[in-house]
Structure 1
Amino acid sequence: MNRSRSVGLVALTLVTAVTASLAAVPAVAAASPSQVSWGACPEDVVADAAPTVLECGTVPVPLDYRDPDGRQIDVMVSRLASTDPAKRRGILLTNPGGPGGTGLELPGQLANLGAPASLLDAYDIIGMDPRGVGHSTPLLCGLTTDLGYWANIPPYAVDEAAVDRHAATSEAVAERCAATDTGGLIPHLTTANTARDLDLIRIALGEEKASFLGYSYGSVLGAAYASMFPGTSDRIIIDSNVGGTALDHDALRRFGLGMEQTFGDFAAWAAARHDTYGIGRTAAEVRRNYLTLAARLDEEPVDGYDGVTFRLLAFTAMYDSIVYPLLAELWQALQNGDEAAVAKLAAEAGEPVAEENALSSFLAVTCNDSDWSEDVATYRRAVAKDRKRYPLFGAAAANITPCAFWPYERYEPTVKINDRGPRNVLIMQNLRDPATPYRGGQLAREAFRKRSSLVTVDGSGHGVYVFGTNPCAQRVGTAYLVDGVMPRDPYCAAGTPAPDADPRRRADLLNRLSNGF
């Protein structure tokens, strides 16, 4: 696989009510958006949500909340209406992650994956393409392959020279984004503004309060929403937590920790199938072989697959055990230097499409949300440190990004988590997660304090509620959203997972990953 293919696989594969700097911004509740007119969804949303049928509509929101009567942009929302109006208790806003992930299809995916009937009775489940994404005034930065390796996860840097090379690419990406943003959209793509959009959606739907379910980056958005609107946010689940209200450099670096903690599950799985794949008889041997093969591919790629691409594929495969066989087959072919087998696997997988909009909006939100060092040496030091402490993937997660060269000044600070308010934030976290390791859940719990409870799940992969397989976690999440039962930091022991051969779940998983989850 060449680097342009790996870009597509990256997409597979994650305050107080008004801050002091925005004291002049009117409260969101003062806005008067029109009611949503529901109709048919765009064709791509229909296909991604099938067989579940959704309704779609648009909500106008201010581009700049400091000028609420100024330019408006449209945010498209979707709805899976309650299946039993007599049991309906409100709306459940959702977000699948990213930032940059499309979310209009998410209500359908939840239903298709077997979301409990009691949940579908209790809520109109609301999806959305956040501002800058998909059908909601999308951002396109002109990120063509002439820029080299560009993606939401930086490439593994084998040495300082690799950091410097990617710094040049990152600077070019930042310059391209600025040059193509003739409409002035970029500065206003922030988590805080998307949280404000959520509250306008609530108002447009005529609801006094709104519940929220968000995964991965959706935990960032959910944490901001609960912090900025404690009075109108109802029951909140933040799942697979980044650990704050911004996907900053520290959060990206935790990908290295997550890979270390999760890889052992894959290694044990592969060792138990050594007769099939031949990549290690023990988990320790699988790990050694991974490091050896990655280093060899750095020097001698096989059919375009180099060490950067192999490490990235391995990282994304840790998201769910359903993907393990795909990695093991490719690993076996690469280990054997079998170019024909590698080419065959690539042909069967198809050519992933680089989602320019997803990557563009990912950059805008991550770069706008927090302060990033502009010193290349800072990233060289981070890469060197994480290459040693997290050898599987640390030198990728710590690498430089276009945020180091971002030409836009932030107009408000990162949203501060508000630990004063109702006890309504349920944090769900696997013990082993490549993109949002368990530490992210702990950080969210520490920040929200008495407002929250942490559900610790003895599981592996990215995603707990509905997308996960732990029976205890499913019961806890449903009991909270439907009945308001807030547990006290429960521990969910390992349960029986869904069978690997479930084609519906596999298809929905891969679609979820492709949307930046």
Structure 2
Amino acid sequence: MTRPVRVLLAGALTAAVLTAAGPARADTEPIVWGDCPPGTATGERCGTIGAPLDHARPAGPRIRVGVSKVAATGTKAEYRGILAVNFGGPGAAAVGSMAALAGGLPERLRRAYDLIGFDLRGRGTSTRVECTDPETFGRAPRPDPAMPGSRAAHLAATRAFADGCRRSAGELLPHLTTRDIARDLDLVRAAFGAERLSILGYSYGSYLGAVYGQLFPNRVYRMLLDSLVDPTEVWYGTGFLQARGFDARRHDWAAWTAARADRFHLGDTGTAVLATWDRLRGELAAHPAGGVFGGVELDQYTLGKLYTDRDWASMSGPLADYASGDPAALIAGRKPATPDEVNFESVMQTVTCADAPAPADESVFERDMAVLRARHGALGAAIASPGACLYLQSNTAPPTRIDGAGLPGVLLVQSVGDPATPYDGALRMHAALPSSRLLTVRGNGNHGHYLVDGPCVDDRGTAYLVDGALPATDVECTEPAQTDPDPRRSAVVHPHR
């Protein structure tokens, strides 16, 4: 998802129809097969295809888009075609992850689909954008833009990042919209010789799926979108929804931690735990632990852990250690930045900057940080802080309007308490896709459910993808929080985290 400081019965198609190439596209190139990224599990084949830099000029300059495939294991009668997977971001890499994903899938799904990974333009094995270097990106402690004395340093770093984006990939920047990425995905479909494709999209992948369906509704077979982006708030307005969502989840975490006061000793009521968090943040802001873990690092750390209640114990434990005088666990969390992390952040920033206009006035961010700090504390201010889009307005076209015209049935999955893609936004995605059914998850506030939470979601999702069994009406599942989860299941949805 974007800057967290910153998803009917479908008619059965025969295997022959699913793999028929249909009319050839002039801009379609064959896959050039090559090596997979280091660490790729056995069974995944990787390569690239060519794509226009500018889809409005298909005969112009070309870029490369990374792809991969893990073949279906079933019979011809069981085959349902290709399933393209996007794990979110924008910027989660997929090439090199499909074989690992296959190991956690239901057998019926593995037998039915070729799993297709593709890396967004700018990311991974595609033509890349690198806005900075790991040493600069990982420098800590970071200045706090909500504090007047640190604001200039934060803005200088943000401007330097934006300048680096222009140096790295200036010609690519205006063509990093989700529309461009969706058109790349259609070239991926054609390169694999499929008339239609199915999509499994998490978080940002839900928006990519919706945009693809808007542009190419007759090329969608089945589409499961999990943890849903609000298509009416792309992207600046999303931060206001997230600020409220993360604040609510912080209260949930505090109540959970208070119920285990004998283990964590951070407070015996939710209010007391929140007061302890605020106190610890003030201490870290004034005196960063180990000289590297300050207030902004605590904001980032907390936001990351609130995506799923499976991470709550791993947040409360290090905070409890720090509160008792041992900062080692927090300091250990500040590992050196990697080139992959730099590439991820570069794509996240440049795609969101290209997708839709954002404020280009520092005073707007200053105002919004103050408003969200008053409403939602330090995390609210962190989410409203200026990112690269303040200096990197590469495309002023409005985002794609989603109305779902012509789409077959779509299955949507969403938790009521998801902080990164809040439920109100999911309802707007549901309204924008008239052929969709919404599976609402109660009992936890996690981000990402299919293949993670349990049989109520998994069985319905698999029945839809394999059999086309879309629920006749919206449905609900209750999946209790899993604070001691099976790590094999947790790794399926977010292999990039």
**TM-score in terms of structure 2 length:** 0.87
Q: 1:491 to 1:401 in 2, by over 3 A?
A: same
Instruction: Give the counterpart letter for 2:174 in structure 1.
Output: P
CA contact (8 A) 2:206 2:225 kept: yes
Residues 1:260 and 2:247 are matched in the alignment? yes
Q: Among 195, 214, 238, which residue is 1:208 paired with?
A: 195
Tell me the residue number matched to 1:176: 164
Deviation at 1:167, TM superposition (A): 2.6
Distance in 2 separating the partners of 1:421 and 1:315: 38
Distance in 2 separating the partners of 1:269 and 1:283: 8
| Structure 1 segment 63-462 matched on structure 2, within 5 A | 63-86=53-76, 87-112=78-103, 114-143=104-133, 145-146=135-136, 157-181=145-169, 184-244=171-231, 247-303=234-290, 304-338=292-326, 342-343=327-328, 346-347=331-332, 351-353=336-338, 355-391=341-377, 393-406=379-392, 408-410=394-396, 412-448=397-433, 450-458=434-442, 459-462=444-447
DSSP 3-state at the match of 2:338:
coil
Instruction: Give the counterpart letter for 1:475 in structure 2.
Output: D
Distance in 2 separating the partners of 1:369 and 1:381: 23
DSSP 3-state at the match of 2:275:
helix
DSSP 3-state at the match of 1:124:
strand
Tell me the residue number matched to 1:4: none
Q: Among 36, 40, 64, which residue is 2:31 paired with?
A: 36
Q: 1:367 to 1:246 in 2, by over 3 A?
A: farther
Q: 1:344 to 1:194 in 2, by over 3 A?
A: closer
Between 221-230 and 300-309, report the one with greater CA deviation.
300-309
DSSP 3-state at the match of 1:57:
strand
Distance in 1 separating the partners of 2:139 and 2:386: 12
Q: 1:12 to 1:255 in 2, by over 3 A?
A: closer
Distance in 1 separating the partners of 2:334 and 2:345: 21
Q: 1:226 to 1:395 in 2, by over 3 A?
A: same
Distance in 1 separating the partners of 2:474 and 2:454: 13
Distance in 2 separating the partners of 1:117 and 1:350: 37
DSSP 3-state at the match of 1:231:
helix
DSSP 3-state at the match of 2:440:
strand
Q: 1:373 to 1:78 in 2, by over 3 A?
A: same
Between 453-462 and 237-246, report the one with greater CA deviation.
237-246
Instruction: Give the counterpart letter for 2:156 in structure 1.
Output: A
Deviation at 1:11, TM superposition (A): 10
Distance in 2 separating the partners of 1:238 and 1:88: 21
CA contact (8 A) 1:156 1:393 kept: no
Deviation at 1:109, TM superposition (A): 3.5
Distance in 1 separating the partners of 2:406 and 2:146: 46
Tell me the residue number matched to 1:483: 467
Distance in 2 separating the partners of 1:254 and 1:214: 20
Q: 1:484 to 1:407 in 2, by over 3 A?
A: closer
Deviation at 1:197, TM superposition (A): 0.8
Residues 1:495 and 2:479 are matched in the alignment? yes
Instruction: Give the counterpart letter for 1:461 in structure 2.
Output: N
Distance in 1 separating the partners of 2:485 and 2:34: 33
Deviation at 1:386, TM superposition (A): 0.9
Q: Among 48, 56, 59, which residue is 2:49 paired with?
A: 59
DSSP 3-state at the match of 2:198:
strand
Distance in 2 separating the partners of 1:12 and 1:381: 16
Residues 1:512 and 2:496 are matched in the alignment? yes
Unaligned runs of 5+ in 1: 1-9, 15-27
Instruction: Write out per-residue CA displacement over residues 110-158 of structure 1, whole angstroms, 9 at most, x where no aligned residue.
Output: 323x32111111211111111111111111123454478799xx97644
Deviation at 1:325, TM superposition (A): 2.4
Deviation at 1:473, TM superposition (A): 1.4
DSSP 3-state at the match of 1:79:
strand
Between 156-165 and 66-75, report the one with greater CA deviation.
156-165
Instruction: Write out per-residue CA displacement over residues 286-314 of structure 1, whole angstroms, 9 at most, x where no aligned residue.
Output: 22222222233222333232121112111
Distance in 2 separating the partners of 1:178 and 1:310: 30
Distance in 2 separating the partners of 1:71 and 1:95: 26
DSSP 3-state at the match of 1:285:
helix
Q: 1:163 to 1:226 in 2, by over 3 A?
A: farther
RMSD: 2.9
**TM-score in terms of structure 1 length:** 0.84
Deviation at 1:199, TM superposition (A): 0.9
Instruction: Give the counterpart letter for 1:115 in structure 2.
Output: L
Q: 1:191 to 1:41 in 2, by over 3 A?
A: same
CA contact (8 A) 1:141 1:176 kept: yes
Q: 1:348 to 1:372 in 2, by over 3 A?
A: closer
Q: 1:352 to 1:329 in 2, by over 3 A?
A: farther
Distance in 1 separating the partners of 2:31 and 2:137: 40
Tell me the residue number matched to 1:3: none
Distance in 2 separating the partners of 1:407 and 1:491: 41
Unaligned runs of 5+ in 2: 8-22
Distance in 1 separating the partners of 2:462 and 2:494: 24
Instruction: Give the counterpart letter for 1:217 in structure 2.
Output: Y
Instruction: Give the counterpart letter for 1:431 in structure 2.
Output: V
DSSP 3-state at the match of 1:454:
strand
Deviation at 1:216, TM superposition (A): 1.1
Instruction: Give the counterpart letter for 2:179 in structure 1.
Output: A
Distance in 2 separating the partners of 1:347 and 1:406: 33
Aligned residues between the structures: 476
CA contact (8 A) 2:417 2:423 kept: yes
Deviation at 1:508, TM superposition (A): 5.3
Instruction: Write out per-residue CA displacement over residues 421-472 of structure 1, whole angstroms, 9 at most, x where no aligned residue.
Output: 1342222111112221212211211222x22222111122210111x31421
